Amino acid sequence: MKQPDLLDLACERLSLTVVSDLKAGGQKTVHLVQRDERQQVLKLVKVGSADPTVLQRAHREVELLAATHHPNVVEVASELEELGEPISGAAWLEEYLDGDDLSAYLDAPWAPTEVLRMGRDVAAGLGALHAQKVVHRDLSANNVRRLSDGTYKVMDPGFAKHTLRSGLTVGGQPGTPGFMTPEHLQAYSGPTPASDVYAVGQLMYAAATGQLPVPWLGDDADYISRLAQGRIRSIDELRSGFPRDLSTIIERALHQHPARRYRNGERLREALDGLT
């Protein structure tokens, strides 16, 4: 079934009216919709035989969000609907978040107070996932949203892995170039809660300095080599006058060895709370 047909079917099943397309094209599309005079976000995934894990990942994402009620994690607003016979798509609703993804804000340094607020919010959201023994695994600037009221919310745990369940094989560890962690290079273990802490450290470092600690420059082999080496310039080198206590926390979160970082999102949040 084609994506437009899946969208029509999802709207019929969930009694929706499409307002606009937020992210169109590819295997997953996102639409702003209206139901009962309320705007929500419809996520629509095309299911095919080429990747049998797509439907499993969609179910897992919806189940995870439904079990997580936290002000710094996006809320799911419906159960997952399987579409077609045989199943050719899946759809579900999430709360509508105004504002923009962090990718729209990381091209210039932020005020230290805003770096702190973002780090604390994102760490708190991840802490809620970690409390369920779940690792996000693909936290990037595109997966954190800054709302108009200044709140930050974690989104899109589609590749999240439950540490107490068997993982889904996705052709290696999922990750976004520029936002991967050293553990993404270790197929035998892979990301842990401390890896999500590293990802928060990357976002805070970028907000503090205007550049990623290990940027992707267009060459995968070069990026992987630099990520494995773990050579990161100190924040003090890139920005004079930045609060030393905050940069110390960020740099600990970015330590090459997971055991030297904060253990999980909650521990990082506690450290950041200690600065206020």
Q: What is the pLDDT of residues 182-238, one digit of tens each?
A: 888 876 566 789 999 999 999 999 999 999 999 999 888 898 899 999 899 999 999
First to last CA, the chain: 53
Nearest-10 Cα torsion for 137, 140, 143, 148: 140
Q: What's the whole-number average pLDDT of the chain?
A: 88
Residues of the chain short of pLDDT 50, as ranges, are 162-172
- Name, in order, each residue with C-beta under 8 angstroms of 109's C-beta and a sequence gap of 6 or more: 207, 208, 209, 210, 239
Q: Which CATH class is domain 100-273?
A: mainly alpha
| pLDDT for res 157 | 77
Q: Which positions ≥6 away from 115 have C-beta within 8 Å?
A: 204, 207, 208, 246
Q: What is the pLDDT, as a whole number, of residue 167? A: 38
- pLDDT at residue 58, rounded to an integer: 87
Q: Do domains 3-95 and 100-273 have the same CATH topology?
A: no
| Homologous superfamily of the 3-95 domain (CATH) | Phosphorylase Kinase; domain 1 (3.30.200.20)
Rounded CA-CA distance 73/144 in Å is 9
Both tokens of residue 231? 């050579």
Instruction: Judge contact between 213 and 202, C-beta under 8 A.
Output: yes
E strands, 47-170, in order:
81-83, 89-95, 100-101, 134-135, 144-146, 152-154, 161-162
In the chain, what are the domain boundaries? 3-95, 100-273
pLDDT score for 177: 84
pLDDT at 133: 87
Cβ atoms of residues 202 and 254 within 8 Å:
yes
Task: Identify the pLDDT of residue 168.
Answer: 32
pTM: 0.88
Strand order in the sheet with 89-95: 17-23, 28-35, 38-46, 89-95, 81-83
Q: What is the dihedral of CA 34, 36, 37, 42, to 10 degrees?
A: -20
The span from the CA of 53 to the CA of 41, in Å, is 23
pLDDT at 187: 63
**Encoded amino acid at 59, one letter:** H
